[in-house]
Structure 1
Amino acid sequence: MEDNEFVERIQEKIERMTGRQVELRIDEEDAGQMGVELRDDIPLVILGNNVRQYSGFARMGIEYAVACIREERAIDPMEFHVLLARN
């Protein structure tokens, strides 16, 4: 699968899981970046380019983005670890 197609699938999955349109950006400089900005009507999801190499990082990024968008706030790392442990 092409990198761009994989990134599109990540965006589609986040949108499907949240029921909202999102903008997805891949950070080419910070490979481990994971963040969500909720300032606008369309949430901005920023994931590091590790999503292209590590499927586990991509899954974790999807879960993090979905949790933040559903809660409508940034999820703190410790809270996110607890959330992952429950699932």
Structure 2
Amino acid sequence: MEDQDFVNKLKEKIQRLTGEKIVLHVNTHNKNDISIEFNGSETIVNMGNNIYEYSGFARMCVEYAVASITEQRPIDVLEFHVLLARN
């Protein structure tokens, strides 16, 4: 699968799970980036380019994005660890 196809599938999955449109940005400078920005009507999800090498990292980014969008705020590290432990 091409990189852009993979990114499109991740974006579609997040949008399907949350019911919201997002902008998905792949960070080439910080390979381990997992972050989200709420800018008014636009939600920007940032994922490090390690998503291409590590499928587990990509899944973790999706989980983080969905949880943050559901809460309408970036969830903190402890909350995210608890979320991952439950799944």
TM-score computed with the length of structure 2 as normaliser: 0.97
Identity %: 49
Whole-angstrom CA distance in 1 between matches of 2:16 and 2:42 = 14
Ranges of 4+ aligned residues in structure 1 off by more than 6 Å: none
Determine if the alignment matches structure 1 residue 37 to structure 2 residue 74. Answer: no
Any idea what SS the aligned residue of 1:9 has? helix
TM-score computed with the length of structure 1 as normaliser: 0.97
Any idea what SS the aligned residue of 2:31 has? coil
Per-residue deviation, residues 26-51 of structure 1 (Å, max 9, x unmatched): 00010000000012212100000001
The letter for the 2-side match of 1:85 is A
Whole-angstrom CA distance in 1 between matches of 2:42 and 2:63 = 17
User: Where in structure 2 are there 5+ consecutive unaligned residues?
Assistant: none
Whole-angstrom CA distance in 2 between matches of 1:25 and 1:50 = 13
User: Where in structure 1 are there 5+ consecutive unaligned residues?
Assistant: none
More strand by share: 2
**Two-structure CA RMSD over aligned residues (Å):** 0.6
